[in-house]
Amino acid sequence: MEEYSDKLKQKFMRAALAEAMKAGDAGEVPIGAVIVQNGKIIARGKNERETKKDPAAHAEVVAIRKAGKKLDRWNLCDCDLFVTLEPCVMCSGAIIYSRIRSVYFGADDLRFGCCGTIMNLVQDQRFNHRASVEGGILKEECLEPIRGFFRDRRKEGKRKFE
């Protein structure tokens, strides 16, 4: 696991949060991600499910695809992912397939989290790749925009995001 200081982890999580806010402004569930290589952000992603009408356009997948393009390779074994919400089953799969080294997430996802909450796919011994995981980075700051999003939706009586 790359040794990041707490300050650096928070800095990268704040960059992921900035992406989350952009997603929120576009009417998406506010989730954002960045990918870091050699201490630098090389790709950013935000949830674009509604905008792109794409069920796979989660922030992590968007960022992983961009990182692959940028590095001109699919193997991201020297890269770390920072994401505001614990990755789901699909994104955990993408983390395994892209060989991401470490996953840092903000809030736990009690309903879909697959980096320790519902299950821990990225550390399952049966797969040939495992990522290190650290959750809880800027947890409250990451969770609040998501809570706010669903609060507003419920107020509007829209149930399609539930």
Enzyme catalytic residues: 60
Rounded least distance, CB 47 to Zn ion, Å: 9
Which residue, 25 or 54, has its beta carbon nearer to Zn ion?
54
Q: How far apart are CA 117 and CA 150, in angstroms?
A: 20
Which residues contact Zn ion by CB under 5 A? 58, 88, 90-91
Which residue, 55 or 157, has its beta carbon nearer to Zn ion?
55
Contact partners, residue 46, CB within 8 Å, separation at least 6:
19, 20, 22, 23, 26, 28, 31, 32, 33, 59, 62
Which residue, 79 or 88, has its beta carbon nearer to Zn ion?
88
Rounded least distance, CB 5 to Zn ion, Å: 27
Bridge pairing between strands 79-85 and 32-37 = antiparallel
Rounded least distance, CB 61 to Zn ion, Å: 7
CA-only gyration radius of the chain, Å: 15
